[in-house]
């Protein structure tokens, strides 16, 4: 089931660290082994994928009824969270309570708002949101204004007050080198998790997830989002390094498990 994760590690290829372990050994202990264990767990018990899924409806035309359906599915399938736009944050919080997290998008969908505007958005949502998914300032990144990219994330990170912060870099619109650079910048700004995409520029592929995973520290998570519609695709993202999965097709992913 799924593709086979192949990670070549050459023990002793790098100088030993202060604890006597090589860089490859430390990578194995902190990154590779846990990921392989998770993949094996998912193969043995595929329904555990629900604990990684952030069930999503960020359609600007979504109705209250559709958000009620989203949250009912989160409760029924034990998804990790519901992801909604700010307008629906209060409703999602009322519907989910302590059952699952409410994730609210900030600076959506292009990240072009200035840091003060994003901070104000976060502050207005603190009562209802457990986590925030912000969008990197894509205009600043496109003009190589890396300082603004970092400062923008740092401003939002300060406003969230210790709640998990994900930052969307819209990887389908970037080259491999740009993905790596963007991931490094938003991590520097304080993002806990680097998220691939809003989805407006096409589906995410495993290579994008892998590029992010290789560009950030072990402590930083990776959220794959955009075009994940069945269990095999979800497993591929985990194999590539995803720790979280964003999908509007959460139910389809579970229903596709054989």
Rounded Cα distance between 216 and 185, Å, is 9
On whether the CB atoms of residues 59 and 36 are closer than 8 A, the answer is: no
- Concatenate the DSSP letters of all residues of 146-187 into one string: HHHHHHHHHHHHHHHTTS-EEEE--GGGS-HHHHHHHHHHHH
Catalytic pick among 93, 118, 166, 223 = 223
On whether the CB atoms of residues 192 and 218 are closer than 8 A, the answer is: no
Q: Which two tokens stand for residue 14?
A: 């790098």
Q: Which residues, 6 or more positions from 47, have their beta carbon under 8 angstroms from its beta carbon?
A: 254, 257
β-strand partners of 223: 195, 244
β-strand partners of 165: 132
Signed CA dihedral, 221, 224, 230, 234: sign only: negative
Catalytic pick among 133, 152, 166, 192 = 133
Active site (annotated) includes residue 163: no
Pick from 51, 111, 61: which is nearest to 81 by CA?
51
Rounded Cα distance between 97 and 221, Å, is 25
Active site (annotated) includes residue 223: yes
Number of H helices, E strands in the chain: 11, 8
β-strand partners of 222: 194
Q: Which two tokens stand for residue 99?
A: 């059952």
**What are the residue numbers of the active site?**
133, 195, 223
């Amino acid at each position: 089931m799924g593709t086979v994760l192949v990670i070549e590690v050459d023990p002793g290829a790098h100088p030993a660290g202060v604890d006597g372990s090589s860089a490859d050994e430390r990578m194995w202990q902190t990154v590779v082994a846990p990921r392989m264990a998770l993949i094996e767990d998912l193969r043995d018990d595929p329904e555990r994928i629900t604990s990684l899924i952030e069930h999503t409806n960020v359609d600007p035309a979504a109705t209250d009824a559709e958000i009620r359906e989203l949250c009912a599915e989160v409760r029924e399938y034990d998804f990790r969270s519901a992801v909604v736009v700010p307008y629906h944050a209060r409703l999602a919080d009322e519907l989910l309570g302590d059952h699952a997290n409410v994730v609210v998008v900030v600076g959506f969908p292009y990240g072009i708002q200035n840091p003060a505007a994003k901070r104000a958005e976060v502050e207005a949502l603190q009562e209802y949101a457990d986590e925030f998914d912000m969008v990197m300032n894509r205009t600043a990144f496109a003009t190589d204004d890396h300082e603004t990219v970092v400062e923008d994330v740092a401003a939002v990170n300060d406003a969230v007050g210790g709640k998990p912060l994900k930052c969307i870099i819209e990887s389908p619109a970037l080259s491999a080198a740009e993905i790596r650079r963007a991931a490094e910048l938003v991590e520097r700004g304080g993002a806990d998790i680097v998220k691939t995409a809003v989805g407006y520029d096409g589906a995410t592929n495993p290579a994008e997830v892998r590029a992010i995973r290789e560009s950030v520290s072990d402590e930083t998570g990776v959220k794959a989002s955009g075009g994940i519609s069945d269990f095999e695709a979800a497993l591929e993202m985990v194999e590539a390094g995803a720790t979280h999965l964003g999908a509007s097709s959460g139910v389809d992913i579970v229903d596709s498990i054989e």
